[in-house]
Amino acid sequence: MQETFAHMRPFLEEEVPAAIQTLLGSLDWSAQLTPFIGDQASAEILEGIAKIRSVQEFQSEVSKPFVQLVLDKTADEVTFSFPEDFDSHGALFISNHRDIVLDPSLINMGLLSLGHPTTQIGIGSNLLSTPWVEALVRLNKSFIISRGGTPREQLMSSAEVAEYVRHVILTEHSSLWLAHREGRAKDGDDRTSPALIRMLVNSKDGEDWNAMRVHPVTLSYEWDPCDGMKVRELLLRDVNDGEYEKKLGEDERSMKQGLFGSKGSVHIAFSAPLKWEAPPEGVRPAVNMANQMDQKIHAGMKEWPSQHWAARQLMQVRATTDEKWPEGWEPDAVTEEVSQSCIRRLDTIVEMMGDLPFSRDEIILKWCEITAAPLCNRAHSAHQEWA
C-alpha cells in the first residue's frame, strides 16, 4: 500500500537522506534563518538537519524546536483546550485555515503537549513550487493533495485522497489533518466545503465519517500576521470583478510572514468527534454536515479585544441593525490601549499599500471586516445555541 501512495505520502526512512541533501543544497539557509532566529539558533538547527535519518527525527529535532522558537519570538501566549477522553489515535482533524505553515504546526504542538504522536498534514500541490519545498513538507509528515487539472483529474485526485485518508486512519490507526476547505479564509469567514465532506464519506452516508472520528478544531489568532497582504488582495478583487493574479513568490512570502509576523495570543480548541446526522428534508447530506462542522468551529472561536474594536467601527459606519450580526448583539467596549494597538497596526497597513489607489477609509473598512468576521460567526453560533 505504501507504494500505491509513494508519490504523495510522507517520506519513508530510506528516502530521508536524499531529501535532506535536496533541502540543504537548495538555499543558503543560514542567510535565510539568521535574521529571524539569530546566528546560534540557526547554526544549531542546520547542524541538526544534516544528521537527520527519519521523519520522526526531523519533527522532534528540527520542526518542534523551530516552531517553538518562532512562537517564543512572535506570539505572546499559545493555549490549547481539549474535550474529555480525548484520543488522537486513528482520528481525523479538520480545522479552519488561516496560515499555511502554522495551522498544522499548532495542532501538532497541541498533540505533543499531551504526549500524543503528531498528525499527518494534507498540503496542496500548488504550494510546492520547487523540489526543496516538497522535500521540506514531506520530511515534516505531510502528504500531497493534487490541485488543478481537468474535472476528471480533479475527481480522480479526490478519490485518491479519500482512499489515502481512510488508509491512514482506519488501517494504520494514525491521525491526519485537513483544512476545512481549499485555501485560507482571506476574509476571515470560516466556511467548510461540502465537497470535502462528499469526498470523505465516499457515498456511504455516515459509515465512513463516524469510523474516522472527525474532530473539528478551531484556530484563533489574536492578530493575523498576513492581514496586510489579505486586505490588499481582497480590495484588488473588489475592483477586478473577483479576479486576483498572484505574483511570483507570493505564497512563499505568505509562509514567511505567517511564521515570523507578530500574532499576539493564539488559542487552539479541539472539539469532540462530530457524529454524522441525517439532514433535514431538502438539504443535501454534505451541506448539512458542513453546516454542523461550521457550528463547532465557530463555537470554539476565542474572542479578542481587537475583534470587538473592529466590530464597533463597522457598526459606526453601517446601520446598527446590520443583518450580519444577531439581533440585539453588541460588541464589548475596549480599552484605549486596544484602540491604539489597532490604529498602529492599520497605520502600518495603510503605509504598506501606498502604491495602490485605495483610501485610508477603504483599507480600514476592509481590515475591520476581516478582523470582525470570526466574532460575527461566534455570535451567530451562540445565538443558535440559545434559541
CA distance 315 to 307: 12
Calculate the alpha carbon distances from 229 to 224, 232, 370 in Å: 10, 5, 12
- Per-residue pLDDT of 191-229, as tens digits, reads 999 999 999 987 667 888 999 999 999 999 999 999 999
- Say if CB 302 and CB 381 are below 8 A apart: no
Cα–Cα dist 102/142, whole Å: 13
Q: Exposed e or buried b for every residue in 83-119, given b needs 16+ CB within 10 A?
A: eeebebebbbbbbbbbbbbbbbbbbbbbbbeeebebb
**What is the pLDDT at residue 321?**
44
In angstroms, the Cα distances linking 191 to 57, 216, 292, 311, 377 are 35, 12, 11, 20, 10
Residue segments in the chain with a per-residue pLDDT below the cut of 50:
320-321, 386-387
Backbone φ, ψ for residue 40 (5° rounding): -65, -50
Sign, CA dihedral 255-130-19-26, equals negative
CA–CA gap between residue 134 and residue 168 (Å, rounded): 20
Q: In the prediction, which pLDDT does 387 show?
A: 41
- How many residues are present in the chain? 387
- Residue 187 region by backbone torsions, left for phi larger than 0, else alpha for psi between -120 and 50, else beta: alpha
Task: Return the bridge partners of 122, or none.
Answer: 143
Summarised one tens digit per residue, pLDDT across range 308-330 is 999 999 988 865 445 578 888 88
Tell me which H or E stretch contains 122. Answer: strand 120-124
pLDDT for the residue numbered 100: 83
pLDDT score of 323: 58
Q: Of 385, 365, 353, 350, nearest to 315 (Cα)? A: 365
Indicate the SS3 state at residue 93: strand
Give me the pLDDT at residue 385, please. Answer: 58
In the chain, the domains with their CATH numbers are: 76-302 (3.40.1130), 307-386 (no CATH)
